């Protein structure tokens, strides 16, 4: 499917949050950014897990761009029901699970599992995204594509976090993420948060099933690193004015 068509489809068929909860930092990712993020994952991903799925934007984007089984995990049942009630649900192979990512009810270590996520940026609770990265690692994800709030210390912190969990960040870019005034004390029409896009590849193996899965993936031959310039250098951002893309 052409990217422009996919974008329009996601815009129309993925609901907004019916009852946005501030403490969960519920913002729907713009479709073009969702598609961009999911497209960073290599074709070897056979199952894509979307951590903090909200109303399903990244889960459906994963299905639309990759055509592989995608599972969205969301702690808020209202958001998960909204995701499930999209017309796209019947036309795709995705599922939604209501769960806290810190206690994932999914088995880890399957081969070909990759994670995509737009976790809470930590406006309400600093470092709220850490548990998401840990959950992605706990699943034994071979690749993780993720958004995080940018700050002076964020890049160094993220780099340390990913490396400690056995991941190598192979692609880091920056985009502007539009945050609508959904909540009390939000007065600006749209606030743009500076957000870091990270693609990380698992380089170390854990133990047990994850190790076996990783060894199998290694035997099948790892892909070469997607060496691309950071996103903002390619003129991709999610601001009001859309600029030329690939
Ligand atoms: N992935 C969606 C929503 C991003 S907003 C999109 O890109 O449009 C972040 C989401 O994470 C929210 O839906 C919020 O409810 C969810 N969330 C926050 N903490 C969570 C937790 N501990 N476990 C699972 N989901 C969580």
pLDDT of 182:
67
Count the helix, strand and coil residues of the chain and give each as a percent rounded to the nearest 5.
35, 20, 45
158 pLDDT exceeds 60?
A: yes
239 pLDDT exceeds 50?
A: no
User: pLDDT, tens digit, for every residue of 86-119?
Assistant: 999 999 999 999 999 999 999 999 999 999 999 9
Ligand 1 pocket, mutate which of 52, 56, 86, 134 (most atoms under 8 A from CB) = 52
> Would the CB of 100 count as within 6 Å of ligand 1?
yes
The residue segments making up the domain with residue 126 are 3-234
Task: Identify which has the larger pLDDT, 49 or 243.
Answer: 49
**Per-residue confidence band for 186, with pLDDT thresholds at 50, 70 and 90:** low
Residue 185 domain-assigned? yes
For ligand 1, atom 18, which residue shows the shortest CA distance? 24
4 pLDDT exceeds 70?
A: yes
pLDDT of 32:
96
Angstrom distance (rounded) from CA 51 to CA 164: 20
> Would the CB of 74 count as within 6 Å of ligand 1?
yes
246 pLDDT exceeds 50?
A: no
pLDDT of 181:
78
Ligand 1 centre to CA of 120 (Å) is: 6
Angstrom distance (rounded) from CA 108 to CA 46: 14
Residue 244 domain-assigned? no
pLDDT of 229:
40
CB-hemisphere CA count at 13 Å for 53? 32
Residue 240 domain-assigned? no
Residue 246 domain-assigned? no
Residue 114 domain-assigned? yes
Q: Collapse the DSSP code of 170 into the 3-class scheme (helix H, G, I; strand E, B; otherwise coil) and give the result.
A: strand
For ligand 1, atom 26, which residue shows the shortest CA distance? 52
User: pLDDT, tens digit, for every residue of 10-33?
Assistant: 999 999 999 999 999 999 999 999
pLDDT of 234:
36
Q: pTM score, two decimals?
A: 0.84
Among 40-54, 151-165, 215-229, the minimum mean pLDDT is found in: 215-229
Which DSSP state fits 176? E
Residue 81 domain-assigned? yes
Arithmetic mean of pLDDT, 214-238: 37
Q: How many domains does the chain have?
A: 1
Residue 167 domain-assigned? yes
pLDDT of 104:
96
Arithmetic mean of pLDDT, 153-159: 91
State the residue for tokens 């810190």.
102
Three-class SS of 57-115: HHHHHHHHHHCCEEEEEECCHHHHHHHHCCCHHHHCCEEEEECCHHHCCCCCCCCCEEE
**CATH code of the domain covering residue 214:** 3.40.50.150
pLDDT of 221:
34
pLDDT of 217:
41
CB-hemisphere CA count at 13 Å for 28? 24
For ligand 1, atom 23, which residue shows the shortest CA distance? 100
74 pLDDT exceeds 50?
A: yes
Among 24-28, 49-53, 203-207, the minimum mean pLDDT is found in: 203-207
Residue 151 domain-assigned? yes
């Amino acid at each position: 499917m052409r990217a422009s068509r996919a974008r329009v489809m996601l815009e129309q068929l993925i609901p907004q949050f019916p009852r946005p909860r501030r403490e969960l930092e519920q913002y729907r990712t713009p479709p073009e950014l969702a598609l961009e993020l999911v497209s960073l994952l290599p074709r070897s991903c056979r199952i894509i897990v979307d951590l903090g799925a909200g109303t399903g934007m990244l889960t459906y984007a994963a299905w639309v761009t990759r055509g592989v089984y995608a599972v969205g995990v969301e702690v808020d049942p209202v958001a998960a029901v909204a995701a499930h009630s999209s017309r796209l649900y019947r036309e795709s192979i995705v599922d939604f699970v209501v769960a806290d990512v810190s206690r994932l009810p999914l088995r880890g270590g399957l081969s070909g599992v990759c994670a995509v996520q737009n976790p809470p940026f930590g406006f309400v609770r600093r470092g709220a995204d850490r548990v998401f990265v840990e959950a992605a690692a706990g699943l034994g994800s071979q690749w993780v594509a993720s958004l995080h709030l940018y700050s002076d210390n964020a890049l160094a912190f993220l780099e340390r976090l990913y490396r400690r969990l056995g991941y190598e960040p192979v692609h880091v870019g920056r985009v502007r993420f539009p945050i609508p005034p959904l909540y009390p004390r939000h007065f600006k029409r749209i606030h743009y948060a500076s957000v870091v896009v990270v693609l990380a590849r698992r380089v170390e193996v854990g133990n047990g099933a994850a190790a076996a899965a990783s060894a199998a993936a290694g035997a099948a031959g790892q892909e070469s690193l997607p060496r691309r310039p950071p996103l903002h250098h390619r003129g991709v951002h999610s601001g009001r004015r859309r600029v030329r893309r690939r």
